[in-house]
Amino acid sequence: MNQRLLSEEYDESYEKYLKLVPEKGELADVLLEQSKTAFALFEGLTEEQGSYRYAPEKWSIKQLLGHLTDSDRIFAYRVLRISRGDQTPLPGYDENDFVNAAGFDSYSLEELTRQFKASRQSTLALIAAIPEEAWTRKGSSNGHPITARAQACLLIGHELHHLSIIKERYLV
């Protein structure tokens, strides 16, 4: 599936993340390569690095990894629902409430990485199995119209955004 999105496939509020997605390549291939990069990054960190926060009020790397896992699960679920033609409006979620309730800092970095990998394997299988015609089906997520393809691209762009933040602010 070509991921070049049309403006009518998503709300402009998602542009911040969508502009980060490469314009060429199959979505499944882009996500697979991105996953390898993310796995290598997190597997290369120590527990001490996993607990690091670049500012007191900011998430630790463990919390950020937990957030990526939560988001992977939620965004993949949205892709599934929208690609199946479900018109039920899908709610948003407060990422800070999720992170605060999850207790990610009490987990080992190894366990959090294992959770992320498990979620991502499921997401990759889903993305690879979506029929071509289903990618342009439109639904509603977080109060905005969006296609299955745009939601999958949002998953990719959201992760790229956070991986960039890790490299810029955590691993300087």
**pLDDT attached to residue 42:** 97
- Rounded mean pLDDT, 69-92: 98
Continuous segment of H or E residues that includes residue 164: helix 148-165
| Dist. CA 62–CA 110, nearest whole Å | 10
Q: At what angle do helices 148-165 and 27-43 cross, to 10 degrees?
A: 30
Q: What 8-state DSSP symbol labels residue 130?
A: S
What pLDDT sits at residue 172? 58
Tokens at residue 113, please? 């990485």
- pLDDT number for residue 29: 95
pLDDT over threshold 90, residue 92: yes
Over residues 21-51, the pLDDT tens digits come to 998 889 999 999 999 999 999 999 999 999 9
Report residue 1's pLDDT band, with 50, 70 and 90 as the boundaries.
low
Q: What is the C-alpha separation between 166 and 60, in angstroms, rounded?
A: 10
Q: What is the pLDDT of residue 24?
A: 86
CA distances from 85 to 10, 18, 37, 82, 141 (A): 16, 22, 32, 5, 13
Q: Confidence band (pLDDT; 50, 70, 90) for 3? A: low
- Structure confidence at residue 58 (pLDDT): 97
Is pLDDT at 2 greater than 90 in this prediction?
no
Is the CATH number 3.90.550.10 carried by domain 7-170? no
